[in-house]
Chains A and B, each alone.
Chain A
Amino acid sequence: MKLPGIADVAQTERTSKSTGLHSAPPVKMAIRNASKSYDTRSGAVHALADVSLDVREGEFLCILGPSGCGKTTLLWSMAGLHALSSGSITLGNQQITRPNPEIAMIFQDANLLPWRNLAKNIELPFELKRKPPDRERIAKLLDRVGLAGFENKFPRELSGGMQQRASIVRSLSVDPSVLLMDEPFGALDAFTRDEMNLLIQEIWMETKKTIAFVTHSISEAIFLADRVAVMSARPGRIAEIYDIDIPRPRSIDIQTEPDFIKRVLDIKSRIEHGRGARVAIT
Chain B
Amino acid sequence: MDKVLGDKIPEFNKKQGGGGNVGLSGASFSLGDHRSKFEILVIILVAVVIIGGTELALLVMKVPQYVLPRPSLIVTALFTEWNFLWPHILITLYELLVGFTIGASIGFVLAAVITQFPFVEKIVTPYILLLVTTPMLALVPLLILRFGFGSEPRIIAVALASGPMVMINSATGFRRVDLAKIALARSFGASTLQIFTKIRIPMAMPMIIVGLMVGSIFGLLTTIGAEMVGGAEGLGNRLTYYSALIRMPQFFAIILILAVMGISIYVFFFWLGKKWASWEA
Residues on B with beta carbons closer than 8 Å to the beta carbon of A229: none
Residues on B with beta carbons closer than 8 Å to the beta carbon of A174: 188
A81–B186 CA distance with the chains assembled, in angstroms: 7
A41 interface residue, CB < 8 Å from B? no
A124–B203 CA distance with the chains assembled, in angstroms: 15
17 contacting pairs across A/B (C-beta < 8 A)? A81-B183, A101-B189, A104-B187, A105-B183, A111-B181, A113-B181, A113-B202, A114-B280, A115-B205, A115-B280, A124-B185, A125-B188, A127-B198, A128-B188, A129-B189, A154-B279, A156-B279
Residues on B with beta carbons closer than 8 Å to the beta carbon of A66: none
- Chain B residues 194-236 with CB under 8 Å of chain A are 194, 198-199, 202-203, 205
Residues on A with beta carbons closer than 8 Å to the beta carbon of B187: 79-81, 99, 103-105
A179–B164 CA distance with the chains assembled, in angstroms: 45
B47 interface residue, CB < 8 Å from A? no
Residues on B with beta carbons closer than 8 Å to the beta carbon of A99: 186-189
Size of the chain B interface, CB-CB below 8 angstroms: 20
A150 interface residue, CB < 8 Å from B? no
Q: How far is the CB of B7 from chain A (nearest CB, A)?
A: 25
Verify A107–B279 contact, CB threshold 8 A: no
- Chain A residues 96-125 with CB under 8 Å of chain B are 99, 101, 103-105, 107-109, 111, 113-115, 124-125
Identify the closest chain B residue to A117 (Cβ): B279
Verify A124–B279 contact, CB threshold 8 A: no
A242 interface residue, CB < 8 Å from B? no
Residues on B with beta carbons closer than 8 Å to the beta carbon of A114: 279-280
B281 interface residue, CB < 8 Å from A? yes
Given contact pairs A79-B187, A115-B205, A156-B281, A124 touches B198 in the complex (Cβ within 8 A):
yes
Verify A111–B279 contact, CB threshold 8 A: no
Return the 5 tightest CB-CB contacts between A and B, nearest first.
Answer: A125-B188, A115-B279, A105-B187, A114-B279, A128-B190
Q: By CB atoms of chain B within 10 A, which of A81, A115, A125 has the most?
A: A115
Verify A129–B188 contact, CB threshold 8 A: yes
A128-156 contact mask (Cβ, 8 Å, vs B): 1 or 0: 11000000000000000000000000101
A76 interface residue, CB < 8 Å from B? yes
Q: Which of B183, B194, B205 contacts A128 (CB under 8 A)?
A: B194
Q: Which of A115, A125, A129, A154 contacts B202 (CB under 8 A)?
A: A115
A127–B188 CA distance with the chains assembled, in angstroms: 10
B246 interface residue, CB < 8 Å from A? no
B44 interface residue, CB < 8 Å from A? no
B180 interface residue, CB < 8 Å from A? yes
Q: How far is the CB of A156 from chain B (nearest CB, A)?
A: 7
Identify the closest chain A residue to B185 (Cβ): A128
Residues on A with beta carbons closer than 8 Å to the beta carbon of B194: 128
- Chain B residues 144-190 with CB under 8 Å of chain A are 180-181, 183-190
A76–B279 CA distance with the chains assembled, in angstroms: 28
A72–B112 CA distance with the chains assembled, in angstroms: 29
Residues on A with beta carbons closer than 8 Å to the beta carbon of B199: 113
Extra pairs beyond A113-B199, A115-B203, A115-B277 (12, CB < 8 Å): A99-B186, A99-B187, A105-B183, A105-B187, A109-B180, A114-B279, A124-B198, A128-B185, A128-B189, A128-B198, A156-B281, A174-B188
Identify the closest chain A residue to B179 (Cβ): A81
Given contact pairs A114-B279, A156-B279, A156-B281, A124 touches B181 in the complex (Cβ within 8 A):
no
A76–B181 CA distance with the chains assembled, in angstroms: 13
A101–B188 CA distance with the chains assembled, in angstroms: 7
Residues on A with beta carbons closer than 8 Å to the beta carbon of B279: 114-115, 154, 156
Identify the closest chain A residue to B194 (Cβ): A128
A101–B190 CA distance with the chains assembled, in angstroms: 11
Given contact pairs A107-B180, A111-B180, A154-B279, A124 touches B188 in the complex (Cβ within 8 A):
yes
A129–B190 CA distance with the chains assembled, in angstroms: 7
Q: How far is the CB of A178 from chain B (nearest CB, A)?
A: 12
Q: How far is the CB of B271 from chain A (nearest CB, A)?
A: 17
A80–B190 CA distance with the chains assembled, in angstroms: 13
Residues on B with beta carbons closer than 8 Å to the beta carbon of A128: 185, 188-190, 194, 198
Residues on B with beta carbons closer than 8 Å to the beta carbon of A109: 180
Identify the closest chain A residue to B202 (Cβ): A115
